[in-house]
């Protein structure tokens, strides 16, 4: 299967009267079997075409002011994809099936909130700077595959170098000693890339108790010393 892609990037820079510069991005990318059409602002995605659901999906965060692109934006995306795939076929033929450029992914794993045993939380596996955008990702708990509670984000492209990023999340209830892993397999890797997260229970710190004890001891010594000199002074008088 050919995985070479053509990416057509349209970037507009809008300057307001206050001289604030914003970068407005429109991305149309495709392979022989897949495609992406996305709008973004200042490096953040605002919405993308979901070609399986046949609609345009806004991806603004919950705290943002609600916004929708006007017009037949999904139909525009479909038309742009047709043009992209046509250009892709022509480019592959002209360049005689060029080799696919590859970039190996990097990954990290971390909890969304501070971990408390028995309290539901979310583990996040962040996969970054990979190309082509085809890979497999799997979660395990104590060496057993986990699929329940897993959610994957839309692929996000870096307009600087055309590599991709994505998030995978796992809802979990931590118990002491549990070990979770996030493993990524990609054609640019020599072997799977695995990140591990172990649930650890922090021991109560002895610092406050020690400081309190030392302070109390010094305070009692001070009282005793003051009493001694007071008695001595009265005897002298």
Q: pLDDT digit string (tens) for 183-224?
A: 999 999 999 999 999 998 765 555 555 555 555 565 655 555
Q: What pTM was computed for the model?
A: 0.65
Confidence at residue 82, expressed as pLDDT on a 0 to 100 scale = 93
For tokens 């604030």, the residue is 20
Q: What are phi and psi of 201, to 5 degrees?
A: -100, 120
Please state which CATH class domain 106-198 belongs to. mainly beta
Question: Which residues in the chain are classed under CATH 3.10.320.10?
Answer: 6-94
Confidence at residue 119, expressed as pLDDT on a 0 to 100 scale = 94
Confidence at residue 2, expressed as pLDDT on a 0 to 100 scale = 36
Confidence at residue 38, expressed as pLDDT on a 0 to 100 scale = 87
| Three-state secondary structure readout of 93-107 | HHCCCCCCCCECCEE
Distance CA 110, CA 131 (A): 23
Give me the residues of the chain with pLDDT under 70, please. Answer: 1-19, 62, 202-237
CA distances 97 to 83, 86, 148, Å, are 19, 15, 40
CA Rg value for the chain: 29
CA 17, distance to chain mean position in Å, is 34
Please state which CATH class domain 6-94 belongs to. alpha beta
Question: Which residues in the chain are classed under CATH 2.60.40.10?
Answer: 106-198
Distance CA 90, CA 2 (A): 13
Q: Burial level of 35, CB count in 10 A (0-12/13-18/19+)?
A: buried
Which one, of 41, 143, 31, lies nearest residue 91 by Cα?
31
């Amino acid at each position: 299967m050919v995985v070479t892609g053509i990416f057509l990037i349209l970037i507009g820079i809008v300057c307001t009267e206050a001289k604030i510069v914003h970068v407005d991005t429109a991305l149309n990318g495709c392979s022989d079997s897949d495609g992406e059409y996305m709008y973004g602002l200042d490096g953040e995605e605002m919405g993308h075409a979901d070609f399986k659901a046949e609609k345009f999906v806004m991806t603004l965060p919950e705290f943002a002011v609600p916004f929708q692109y006007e017009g037949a934006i999904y139909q525009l995306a479909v038309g742009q994809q047709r043009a992209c795939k046509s250009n892709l076929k022509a480019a592959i033929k002209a360049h005689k099936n060029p080799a696919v450029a590859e970039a190996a992914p990097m990954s990290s794993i971390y909890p969304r909130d501070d971990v408390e045993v028995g309290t539901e939380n979310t583990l996040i596996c962040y996969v970054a700077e990979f190309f082509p955008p085809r890979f497999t990702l799997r979660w395990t708990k104590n060496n057993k595959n986990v699929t329940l509670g897993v959610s994957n984000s839309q692929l996000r492209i870096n307009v600087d170098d055309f590599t991709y990023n994505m998030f995978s999340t796992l809802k979990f209830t931590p118990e002491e000693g549990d070990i979770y892993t996030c493993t990524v397999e990609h054609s640019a890797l020599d072997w799977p890339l695995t990140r591990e997260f172990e649930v650890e229970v922090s021991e109560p710190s002895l610092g406050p108790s020690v400081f309190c004890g030392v302070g109390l001891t010094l305070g009692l010594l001070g009282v005793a010393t003051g009493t001694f000199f007071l008695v001595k002074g009265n005897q002298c008088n």
